[in-house]
Structure 1
Amino acid sequence: MLPFHCAIVSGFGLFTGGINPRATAMIWRAGERPLVDDVKVQGGHGTTLADGSRFEPYNPNHTADTDVTKRWDGQFSSLWVTDNGGGTFNGLWTPNTYAHAGLYVSNTSTPGYVYEMSAEHHARAEIVLDGVRNWNFYAPQTEEEAGESRNAVALEVRNSRNILFANFHGYRVTRSIQPASSAVKLYGSTDIRFRNVHVNAESGFATCDDNGCGTYLRASKFPFENAISDVTRGGDVREREFAVLDITDATTTTPATVPMTPVSKLADGFHSIGGGAVDQHGKLYFIDRFFQRIHGWSDTGRLSVVADAPLDAVNLAVDGSGDLLVMSSDGPETTVYAIDPGAPNAVRPIAPGAVRGGSRARVALPGSFWNNGEFRDQYDPARDRFTTLGEMFARDMAVPRPREYVSPDGSLVLPAYRVWQQGPANHLGWRFSDLLDTYGWITGKVGERIHVINASENRTYSGLLGAGGAVGDLKPFAPRGGESVATGPNGRVYVANGQVFVYDPAGAEVGRIDVPDRPLQLLFGGEDGRTLYILTHHALYSARP
């Protein structure tokens, strides 16, 4: 029998039940040499029962357990290392929704080494360190579910130092329905080292339906807004993918460059706005999706409520007559309808028809796309190479859609991109498409050169707009992509990617506009067309670049 300081604990499951207040599955106080290997914590989403069936942890709305006496976040952490505990932890899966964290490490300076841990589906935090020194995490993965993890952070580090997170993946599921500020939050900590960080909220999907079999990359509007927030120093890291970052006592939060123009907050208090568009007079319209409201903003009328019918609006555009063309997430293939902002209760559904050749109408299409080839074979054996992200994007963007929605006055068309359905066709299921997943649409006329974003590649392209929303002759324009792109009246191009980056017409970066919150959609409007409207999840800003 091994002495305790050399103990090996391997190959078992732990379950504390759903009705067991303040329980913890494992308390660990052993030193640096012992090993905990291949341990699965049961409870909540991700639990497999003895007969191989899956445990159902949700009520129909995914807001609580099916059994109301089983309280989410009602127990201590599943794995608790404390009192100078340490050692090596390998291959652990800890997704117990009833616990407040998957791993909680406290009050220890004994070295710890964590390899390939997956901590998922908690309501508050996945991994918590408090008063910890000398720990290394290699390939930790966290996952926030749409129901229980709406407010959770991936990593919370308090009063700790000499900590390494290498190959960290912080993921929020594509079905997420509300914003979250940061994957990592630091409190009173220093010498925290990050290597190879990836924070995202998109994943592949394969299905067969009435439109045939295929694959699609679902992209959520709600990844973590920031990769890291240092609460003590008051700084955020908005880059979601980077190789190296050390946070020490010498770390500063001063911007590296001086912003080119200030921003003004016009309105706030929203849940999650987006889907904006500007009419011919410069008035801005946008949607607060959670409250199912369409708002308006103008310099004279300020903020207004245009419509609040419960029609699941997601994105919109404005035709030449001032009517709003709105896409709703309701229905198996979504629903498109038109409303007059002055009489919004008269809803006019629009069915898609064949694309009209030779039309002079403006074409609305997504401003950003996710396209990385997941769930599809990208290997070409004849040439012994894989298709690049840029090649995938050019290939798929060149394909016209055979159907389109036409606004009541015929001045605006919306190509009918394929809709991918997961779950029921009502509010209990999810729909994904390029038109839904983008933060907003751009418009142009056939034959014009427009700018679009390949978010998978984090790059902005220019291309020629064709019928059916096809975009050809793609040329790399800027080495940043992100959430949105807008072209100003002076020809400069503005890209939302953590902040607003500004490029001249040739693609050279000329400056940056800093916004207090992460910018998600950019549009030019106002009475003279020179006001840059900046939509974030919770607030509306403007700038005059």
Structure 2
Amino acid sequence: MTAKNTPIVIDIDSNYCEKLFMEDCRFDGVRGPAIRISNEENASVQINLRHVVCRNVPVLTANIANGRQVQGPTSIYEARSLTAGLQIDDWSADPTYSTTKDLQPLNSFPAASTSDIPAFPSMDTWANLLQLGAKGDGETDDTKAIQDAIDKYPVIYVPQGWYRISNTLRLKPNTVIIGLNPVATQLQLADNTQAFGGFGSPVPLLETSRGGNNIVSGIGLSTGASNPRAVGCKWMAGGGSYLNDVKFIGGHGGLNRPGTPRTTIYQQQDKDWDSQYWSLWITDGGGGTFKDIWSASTYCTSGAYISNTSTPGRIYAMSVEHHVRNEIRFNKVSNWKVYALQLEEESRESSECQPMEIQDCHNMTFANLYMFRVIRVIKPYPYSVRLWGCSAMEFLNVHNFSQIKYTTTSALYDVNSNTEVRPWEFARLMIPAGTPTNPPTPGAPAAAASSPAGSSPSSPASSSRRAPSPTAAATSTSASPGCAASTAGRRPPEASPSSPTIPGSRCHSPATRKTTCSSSSSTFQNKAGWSMAARKLFQSPDAAGTSFSGWGNSGFATWVYSIDPGNPDETITLLPRSPMGTVAHPFKVLYPAHRWRDFHDFNTVIVNRPGWCYVAPDGATVIPDVYDLARSTALTAAYPGQPFYATDEYDKRTVRLSVSPEGYLSGLTHFAERGEFVSIPDKAGNVYIADGQLYRYDPQGRQHLLIRTPERPTGMTLSPDQKMMYVTGHHGFYEVALP
């Protein structure tokens, strides 16, 4: 990208976020700041520049929130690197907000960088496949016609058609194949094609030459369902090769020709899911440029598998989705850059999918990495990236998310160091060269983490061990200090000698929650002997503004029940829906502790005045009827006249509001640029915020303590004397002696 003679290049609006990665760009004559950043101390704001050359650009970046600027050292200079946002320097480092930069003066303004995208051959060299004898009718076996064309012509144009294949198509070193587009132009295997059946090594539908300069563009590759040895494409071409605009078709990721019947695959599991090899296999020294790839065949074990190559490779915009086992794997790979990789897990097939695995890889960069679980997923997964034996790896602009509460628990997990990276959003993680690659000794304690700047050291937990399994723990009354509930493969707790790792903590066995209110399910089905007539559905006016609602979660009602903890079996009572104001001056009002508003209307919706509510039997506690009751995991008490804290999940922020005598919220101010499921104040005005770990902020919004927890906190509450904190996670219930 070149920007010339302009007042600004990138302008990020105040209160909005951006994941900006720019490399090999040129800024020439930019009068104002080249990049205006909204708030570099918010995890969702991620700015990374690499090798950006500047001429007459006096101010490279300016931060709206704090006024800080990065100024150019001379009239001509190179930003070899600049990172603004949440940074993690290595596995043992605490995440910190910072701006780091390497700006070097230049004597002259360099020429533009060479493009990674090779030019297509002139159209007058293209041989039309249909004119060479192929039919493309989806019925005729076109294998011989296509292979003969490959053997005779260097450049082949594949017009619209579905071309049935019965054996591997092998490209010559300089073969170029150009299709119309990957939906209209497909190479297909029929089910039970003999060459791709039985048990044995992978058999590719399309195979490049080793070290060649192949170009393949605009093609759909379908390996069918019942072809267990199939690989969509085996790519061994060299660093100058190019795979572009290719769709790997099948299963939940299938695309049908307009007018053909669609399968009902989404309604049930398919016996052929996860039965084939990989859709895209880059191996044996394969490299080059891979751009605009969509790999979503549920029949394949992985959408992409890159192995055994040190040939430079570059991925630009690849989406890998809907697999049962892995979305993408890297094994013994070095010298690769991966830009704009998206991983997406669906509910039916991908609930247990490990999105990315990286093994024995070095000198790799991932930039603008998106990892996503769809709204229909109903349980969390431990981590999005699992890696081991890796070094000299850089992750830039990582976005690990879901519109529901079941995001993967941690973004990355390193097997060798037994370390998880908990932030879901961050600008940079560096795994240095020379990182140890030996696996951890079974039973050895995890590596100690350093104490964060400004935090108070405390005594380490006296011991650290796994808690009993949920079955065994059901009859247990206590456990040794420092224990953590965990499942196989999860990171055990750490006993750090220098950081406050829940001093004196204990893990309690799972117990039935004493429920005072609950939200009903979002889907209704008529059952025998049960009628919907007595249940009226109310559409909350604030349902709009969130993808959770937009994708089918609006046709439901929220019902609130009261339960007497002393007699729970016989006291479950449905509370009537009443006008807000039924209790003129409530003692407390229970609002959702966190809200996901990805249409960016959180600041407006949270101060809406609800029209309806539910009144507890005590006549003094009110629960306003708002849409986000259906999605939030906790309610937080708002007391009239006292500050109230809530989390804007989408913007990763905790806000403070005032509570009126009638229980309405107003006067929103930004309190801290952290937040997930819950935040609670203590009597001194400090605020505890759960965001991967526990953070304590003073009344002015300054962090002054980090408390490490054995697992990601999902809820917390203070004891009456405020000396203890009770914390829930996905696998355990903990008490924390507060320092």
TM-score range, shorter chain: 0.7 to 0.9
Deviations 1:13-45 (A, max 9, x none): 111222222322111122222211111111122
Deviations 1:242-279 (A, max 9, x none): 222221245687234267556799977569xxxxxxxx
In the alignment, structure 1 residue 336 sits paired with structure 2 residue 563: no
Who is 1:49 aligned against? 256
Structure 1 residue ranges without an equivalent (≥5): 203-219, 272-298, 308-315, 317-323, 374-388, 419-433
Match of 1:18, SS state, is: coil
CA distance in 1, matches of 2:411, 2:418: 14
Greater gyration radius: 2
On the 8 A contact 2:639/2:663 being kept in 1, the answer is no
Match of 1:328, SS state, is: coil
CA distance in 2, matches of 1:467, 1:141: 47
In the alignment, structure 1 residue 23 sits paired with structure 2 residue 230: yes
CA distance in 2, matches of 1:531, 1:27: 58
Match of 1:116, SS state, is: strand
Alpha-carbon shift at residue 302 of structure 1 (Å): 7.1
In the alignment, structure 1 residue 348 sits paired with structure 2 residue 539: no
CA distance in 2, matches of 1:200, 1:372: 11
Alpha-carbon distance change, 481 to 303 in structure 1, aligned in 2, over 3 angstroms: closer
CA distance in 2, matches of 1:95, 1:521: 35
Alpha-carbon distance change, 485 to 54 in structure 1, aligned in 2, over 3 angstroms: farther
In the alignment, structure 1 residue 38 sits paired with structure 2 residue 245: yes
Alpha-carbon shift at residue 465 of structure 1 (Å): 2.1
Who is 1:225 aligned against? 409
On the 8 A contact 1:458/1:479 being kept in 2, the answer is yes
Match of 2:329, SS state, is: strand
Alpha-carbon shift at residue 505 of structure 1 (Å): 2.3
On the 8 A contact 2:509/2:733 being kept in 1, the answer is no
Alpha-carbon shift at residue 444 of structure 1 (Å): 2.2
On the 8 A contact 2:697/2:704 being kept in 1, the answer is yes
On the 8 A contact 1:45/1:55 being kept in 2, the answer is no
Who is 1:136 aligned against? 337
Alpha-carbon distance change, 240 to 408 in structure 1, aligned in 2, over 3 angstroms: same
CA distance in 1, matches of 2:368, 2:564: 50
Match of 2:518, SS state, is: strand
CA distance in 2, matches of 1:268, 1:446: 43
Deviations 1:134-183 (A, max 9, x none): 11111111101112111223221001111111111111112211111111
Who is 2:146 aligned against? none
Who is 2:737 aligned against? 544
More strand by share: 1
CA distance in 1, matches of 2:456, 2:465: 16
The root-mean-square deviation of aligned C-alpha atoms, in Å, is 2.7
Alpha-carbon shift at residue 56 of structure 1 (Å): 4.1
Overall identity of the aligned pairs, in %: 34
Alpha-carbon shift at residue 326 of structure 1 (Å): 2.7
Alpha-carbon shift at residue 531 of structure 1 (Å): 2.1
On the 8 A contact 2:715/2:728 being kept in 1, the answer is yes
Deviations 1:328-358 (A, max 9, x none): 3255213222222333333212231111252
Alpha-carbon distance change, 189 to 54 in structure 1, aligned in 2, over 3 angstroms: farther
Q: 1:370 is matched with which residue: 566, 587, 596?
A: 596
Structure 2 residue ranges without an equivalent (≥5): 1-153, 156-173, 176-211, 436-446, 472-505, 525-555
Q: How do 1:287-298 and structure 2 match up within 5 A?
A: none
Alpha-carbon shift at residue 524 of structure 1 (Å): 1.3
Deviations 1:364-409 (A, max 9, x none): 1111122242xxxxxxxxxxxxxxx6xx433222211100011223
Match of 1:394, SS state, is: helix
In the alignment, structure 1 residue 404 sits paired with structure 2 residue 629: no
In the alignment, structure 1 residue 152 sits paired with structure 2 residue 353: yes
CA distance in 2, matches of 1:485, 1:154: 30
Match of 1:435, SS state, is: helix
Alpha-carbon distance change, 366 to 268 in structure 1, aligned in 2, over 3 angstroms: farther
Deviations 1:480-539 (A, max 9, x none): 22221012244321000111001122322121110121112121136x453211111111
Alpha-carbon distance change, 469 to 224 in structure 1, aligned in 2, over 3 angstroms: farther
Question: RCO greater where, 1 or 2, for CA within 8 Å and sep 6 or more?
Answer: 1
CA distance in 1, matches of 2:658, 2:469: 38
CA distance in 2, matches of 1:37, 1:150: 29
Who is 1:530 aligned against? 723
On the 8 A contact 1:329/1:335 being kept in 2, the answer is no
Alpha-carbon distance change, 490 to 52 in structure 1, aligned in 2, over 3 angstroms: farther
Please say which of residues 75-84 and 330-339 is displaced more in the overlay. 330-339
Q: Which one-letter code corresponds to 1:404 in the other structure? A: C
Alpha-carbon distance change, 326 to 136 in structure 1, aligned in 2, over 3 angstroms: same
CA distance in 1, matches of 2:323, 2:663: 41
Who is 1:514 aligned against? 708
On the 8 A contact 1:453/1:484 being kept in 2, the answer is yes
Q: 1:326 is matched with which residue: 488, 510, 518?
A: 518
On the 8 A contact 1:77/1:104 being kept in 2, the answer is yes
Who is 2:679 aligned against? 485
Who is 1:254 aligned against? 449
Who is 1:294 aligned against? none
Q: 2:289 is matched with which residue: 64, 77, 88?
A: 88
Q: Which one-letter code corresponds to 1:146 in the other structure? A: S
TM-score normalised by length of structure 1: 0.76
Q: How do 1:311-322 and structure 2 match up within 5 A?
A: 316=515
On the 8 A contact 2:470/2:510 being kept in 1, the answer is no
Alpha-carbon distance change, 80 to 398 in structure 1, aligned in 2, over 3 angstroms: same
CA distance in 1, matches of 2:663, 2:298: 43
In the alignment, structure 1 residue 182 sits paired with structure 2 residue 383: yes
Match of 2:519, SS state, is: strand
Q: How do 1:417-456 and structure 2 match up within 5 A?
A: 417-418=626-627, 434-456=628-650
CA distance in 1, matches of 2:215, 2:353: 32
Match of 1:88, SS state, is: strand
On the 8 A contact 2:285/2:309 being kept in 1, the answer is yes
Alpha-carbon distance change, 416 to 533 in structure 1, aligned in 2, over 3 angstroms: same
Alpha-carbon distance change, 154 to 222 in structure 1, aligned in 2, over 3 angstroms: same
Q: Which one-letter code corresponds to 1:30 in the other structure? A: A
Q: Which one-letter code corresponds to 1:325 in the other structure? A: C
On the 8 A contact 1:228/1:238 being kept in 2, the answer is yes
Q: 1:237 is matched with which residue: 392, 405, 421?
A: 421
Q: How do 1:195-210 and structure 2 match up within 5 A?
A: 195-202=396-403
CA distance in 2, matches of 1:19, 1:469: 61
Deviations 1:454-485 (A, max 9, x none): 12222212111247864211122222222210
Alpha-carbon shift at residue 188 of structure 1 (Å): 0.6
On the 8 A contact 1:46/1:54 being kept in 2, the answer is no
Q: 1:414 is matched with which residue: 623, 626, 631?
A: 623
Match of 1:45, SS state, is: helix
